[in-house]
Amino acid sequence: MDTAIVTYLGNLRTSATHVRSGETIITDAPLDNHGKGEAFSPTDLMSTSLACCMMTLMGIAAEAKSIPLNGLKARVVKHMESDPRRVGRVELHFELEGKELDNRQRKILEHAARTCPVAQSLSKELVQELSFGYV
């Protein structure tokens, strides 16, 4: 079964529709690469997908181990490189309401994040910097 149908809309913009749900996202080339920067760029999506995948795996681990996962958020910072133009580093700063979590619970969540399928699929050259804040 198809995953998505992607259509080029012109002016460096695409529309991607998820086949199963019908949900649609738009991408736009970034300002520093001839675009308008009016939507996520493809490299923004890649970096953001990394955070989404990590959070999903953290959620699965939290459910399996009865670990509360309240207020989980991630701040994504993408760093581009040139020659070739690519994402060279992604900073992911996770924060959750977790003062009460013990070291074992924190290790479970952090391990789940680091072993998500997106993280495992990206180039080993891509630096993935993760930080976890428990407030």
Domains in the chain: boundaries: 4-33, 42-134
- Give the model confidence (pLDDT) of 72-99 as tens digits: 999 999 999 999 999 999 999 999 998 9
Q: What is the pTM of this model?
A: 0.94
Distance from C-alpha of 65 to C-alpha of 57, rounded to nearest angstrom:
12
The predicted pLDDT at position 14 comes to: 97
The predicted pLDDT at position 58 comes to: 98
- Give the model confidence (pLDDT) of 20-73 as tens digits: 999 999 999 999 999 999 999 999 999 999 999 999 999 999 999 999 999 999
What's the CATH number of domain 42-134, 1.10.3720.10, 3.30.1330.10, 3.40.50.300, 3.30.300.20? 3.30.300.20
The predicted pLDDT at position 79 comes to: 97
Distance from C-alpha of 92 to C-alpha of 48, rounded to nearest angstrom:
9
